[in-house]
Amino acid sequence: MKNVSPHIITEGKKQYHLGELKVNEIIYDFDMMLAYLNTKGKLLFGEKFKIIEEDREIIFKLCNYFIKDEANCKRLDIDINKGILLSGPVGCGKTSLMKLLRYTVPHQKPYKMIPARNIVFGFNHIGYKTIEDYGDGQYFCFDDLGVEPIGRHYGKDCNVMGEILLSRYDLFLENKIKTHATTNLNAQELEERYGNRVRSRMRQLFNLVAFDKESGDKRK
């Protein structure tokens, strides 16, 4: 049954309104979304979790993307049909944000968060079936893209995530299946890691949303 109030989210005994329903359209309120993300973040990651002021701009971009606010996304140069590549320094909060933002849009198809290194470990164990497993219609967010080891199965090396990104690109073209990812690497480092062909596909597959390179490590 279709959720007629996806902007009202229940956590325990409390309801969080992320906006208002007006003439069959949800008008989201960013401050309400932030309040919910703070609460959900504490539930998921512990009481020390908090959204800091310097991250408001990047979270604003991501929230507009996930709620598919076309006017704001156009202004922010974000294509709502592409996935998100969230980049930034180690510990700036990329993974936590991508885990959190799924909960703001319970009416949308969810994506699974998968560490890239785990995919390579799977390839090393069972081989090319691992790559095939990520070539279907599921939505994924590949976490820590670019720092995973090279895959090796029966003595043959394989750039596993590079191959998977090519498969995901084909899925995107054929069926508009989205892929998301987080990475610590910049564009040049990604090209060095995966080659020009994959990097070119990534430009079409992802919106790049980047933390400031001076963003501090929130895990300290």
pLDDT for res 4 = 63
Consecutive H or E run containing 160: helix 160-175
Domain membership flag for residue 220: no
CB atoms within 10 A of CB 92: 26
Task: Identify the band that residue 108 occupies on the pLDDT scale cut at 50, 70 and 90.
Answer: very high
Domain membership flag for residue 3: no
Domain membership flag for residue 118: yes
pLDDT for res 1 = 43
Please give the average per-residue pLDDT across 99-106, as a whole number. 95
Domain membership flag for residue 12: yes
pLDDT for res 160 = 97
Domain membership flag for residue 77: yes
Domain membership flag for residue 215: no
Number of domains in the chain: 1
Which residues touch 124 (CB under 8 Å, ≥6 apart)?
151, 152, 153
Task: Identify the band that residue 3 occupies on the pLDDT scale cut at 50, 70 and 90.
Answer: low
Model pLDDT for residues 67-78, shown as the tens digit of each residue: 999 999 999 999
Mean pLDDT lowest among 84-88, 111-115, 176-180, 185-189: 185-189
Model pLDDT for residues 58-67, shown as the tens digit of each residue: 999 999 999 9
Owning domain of residue 193: 8-210
Q: What is the CATH number of the domain that holds 68?
A: 3.40.50.300
Please give the average per-residue pLDDT across 181-186, as a whole number. 95
pLDDT for res 25 = 85
Q: Is the pTM higher than 0.85?
A: yes
pLDDT for res 220 = 66
Tokens in use for 1? 């049954």
Model pLDDT for residues 191-202, shown as the tens digit of each residue: 999 999 999 999
Domain membership flag for residue 1: no
Please give the average per-residue pLDDT across 52-63, as a whole number. 95
Domain membership flag for residue 71: yes
* CB-based burial label for 46 (10 Å; 0-12, 13-18, 19+): exposed
Distance, CA of 6 to chain centre: 20
